[in-house]
Amino acid sequence: MTRRVAFGFTLIELIAVLAIFALVSVMALQALTGAIRQRSAMTRIDDEAATLARALVMLRRDFDAAVPIAFHPPQSDPEPALAPQPEAGRVALSIGGHPQLPGEPGAGLARVIWRHDPVERTLTRQVWPVLNPARGDLIGPERVILDGIAGLEFEPRGEWPEREQNLSSLPEGFEVSIATDRYGTLDLVVAR
């Protein structure tokens, strides 16, 4: 009697191959899931960093553009070119180079108000498009620039001799500190 030689795989060999294939597939799926999760986390962090960078650039640009011109609100006494109100978490300043659409009144001068809202924990920016507004409704909306803000502090730097006598005077420089929940305290120093 002759023995037949079996060709192919046995059942045990097929089960072993399928088990190895399943194990490799699970490992590949976990690696892919981890990469997707990491990508979404990195995208979120990148978006937060971009928002912070835009806010700091906007703040620096406003303080770089500060002009020594008093602000004359409607139906009120003139305010200094730079009016910090630390107890209110607010800094208001007159700026030059404010963009305007053709046909809009004004000379590119504006009043910018930066304010920290301790309840909402936000940093907001509001703009008067002119320094001598005729009506109170000309002020722009208060826009949220940053979330997660614990505080806003302003400190004039250098000489500011005419502070009390001249509403149009400005210090030689400014230091603005923003206390954030995520990044700690961020200091911005601007010299004129």
- Domain locations in the chain? 62-191
Tell which residue, 128, 124, 125, has the closest CA to residue 110.
Answer: 128
Which residues neighbour 135 within 8 Å (Cβ) at sequence distance 6 or greater?
A: 74
- Stretches where the chain sits below pLDDT 50 are none
pTM (two decimals): 0.78
> Any alpha helices (H) in the chain, and if so which ranges?
11-64
Compute CA distances 189 → 60, 96, 102, 162, 178, whole Å: 8, 19, 33, 21, 12
User: What values do phi and psi take at 141, rounded to 5?
Assistant: -70, 155
Q: Can you name the residues that pair with 128 across neighbouring β-strands?
A: 111
CA-wise closest residue to 173 among 158, 152, 162? 158
Q: What was the pLDDT predicted at 54?
A: 94
Task: Give pLDDT, residue 141.
Answer: 94
Which tokens is 94 given?
């007159």
| Nearest alpha-carbon partner for 129 in 159, 155, 153, 105 | 105
